[in-house]
Amino acid sequence: MRRKDGSVAHSLLHRSEKCQSTLATCSTIVDEASTSTSNNSKSVTDAKTDTAKRKSSRGSKKEVDGDMKEKEVHTNKKRIFARTRKAATKTSDNISTNQENKKTDNCKLKRGADSFKEKKVNNRAKSKAEVSAASSVPEICMQSSIDGSVIEKKPLVPLYPPRAKSVVVVESATKAKVIQKYLGDMYEVLPSYGHVRDLAGRSKSVRPDDDFSMVWEVPAAAWTHLKSIKVALQRAENLILASDPDREGEAIAWHIKEMLEQQGVLGFDVTVARVVFHEISEDAIKKALMSPRYIDMDLVNAYLARRSLDYLIGFGISPLLWRKLPGCQSAGRVQSAALALVCDREAEIEQFKAHEYWTVQTDFKIQSADPSNATCIPFCIKHLNSKKLDQLSIPSQEEAQAIEKMIHSSTFEVLGVKRSKIHKNPPLPYITSSLQQDAANKLHFTAGYTMKIAQNLYEGINLSSEETTGLITYIRTDGFH
């Protein structure tokens, strides 16, 4: 539209210049006509003078010739005046016509310029509207309507098979190398090495009076990693955030997106998507790329709440503990609560009053003709004299021995046999806590050493005849899905 409007304006300007040239030509014609008229009038006056002289000198004989010449001059004069008047009228008409054409062309030129400006303004307004609409999409995707219903999000296009160059961001370099082998050259996999920013290590980094706003700082090493991502995005159309599938991983993806937006890297031609996978295998990663989603702001808000609590409790209580109890460890959201549980349990132990109790267990032998087939059935006394025994029903050794004598002097018989099938499920997969417990009880590993080994198994190891492969699913979990 801009080129077309520009050509129209140029054409109108050319026509205006042509009209001005025509007006200049008409003015020249009028001047020449006026000069011709004055010259003709002078010629007529000279002709009259010559005629009078001839009449006086030649006498009456030449009066007829003089009259004829005078008539001829008068006729020529009429012709000259007629031609002059016709030329002047034509020139005046041309001038009027040219002036009207000039006004018309000027109106058209003005109208065309106004139309061009109006179209340009409309195009700018339309572009601004499109920009505003595009910039409001992520906010709409993260908000809910007033009545509580979730606003429908625009679905993202599957990112596998690849249609354009993509940058994939994961947390560790080992994971990046493994995933790069699975995806190929259309994907550039880069590590973020964990969080790219954190709360500033000073007071008032969390401001409860200002809607719990936070002051962030970026470590020096994180700037290097962000620069690598920024350079890679210059030749890519998609940014895929593939950090860990938990609350902290969601927060890392959110921090990366926020930092790149502040630096003006994420334009409207870059699609930002979040993908999650629970195991590092080729099938799991490609399936995750086929179902991208937006960043889950509920998980991000949970992270922000956790981080603000850590800061407020740690910065509020730790200095007090250091002053009151020298050598004391710092306080924290988790360790302080765990310490409170330990203290409560210790208080219960100190207040416990010991009670003596006994249990009676017997072994019943089944008589058989073949001694090799004799069996022994262990049995714990749960009922005595038609009364159910609880843990403290036999409070002394004397009572236990009396029950034992009564059993030896009694005769027992089998009243019935009940057979049933028992279905035993296989053991459940490990979660973080059960893995650490079994590793500590069976292998005497510390929790940190156990998690280090599990992290290596998750990110992948080099097998003898295969490529680097992840052997277990994501390790930081409290569920089985």
Return the active site residues: 474
Tokens of 3: 């080129």
Alpha carbon distance 181, 157 (integer Å): 23
Give the H or E element holding residue 418: none
User: 378 near 361, Cβ under 8 Å?
Assistant: yes
User: 218 near 197, Cβ under 8 Å?
Assistant: yes
10 Å CB burial of residue 470 (0-12, 13-18, 19+) is buried
Calculated CA dihedral for residues 37, 43, 48, 52, nearest 10 degrees? 170
Alpha carbon distance 345, 353 (integer Å): 14
Alpha carbon distance 216, 222 (integer Å): 13
Closest CA to 462 of 178, 170, 173, 172: 178
Alpha carbon distance 192, 246 (integer Å): 16
- DSSP secondary structure code for residue 423 in this structure: -
Closest CA to 105 of 27, 24, 28, 20: 20
> What is the pairing mode between strands 468-469 and 461-462?
antiparallel
Which residues contact residue 395 at a Cβ distance below 8 angstroms, ignoring those fewer than 6 apart?
Answer: 355, 356, 357, 358
Q: Which residue has the tokens 């304006």?
A: 9
- DSSP secondary structure code for residue 208 in this structure: G
Alpha carbon distance 224, 193 (integer Å): 11
At 227, the amino acid letter reads K
**How many alpha carbons fall within 13 Å on the CB side of residue 133?**
7
- DSSP secondary structure code for residue 367 in this structure: P
Tokens of 207: 């401001």
Which residues contact residue 67 at a Cβ distance below 8 angstroms, ignoring those fewer than 6 apart?
Answer: none
Strand, coil or helix: 240: strand
A 10 A CB-CB count for 177 gives 15
SS3 percent helix, strand, coil of the chain, rounded to 5, is 60, 10, 30
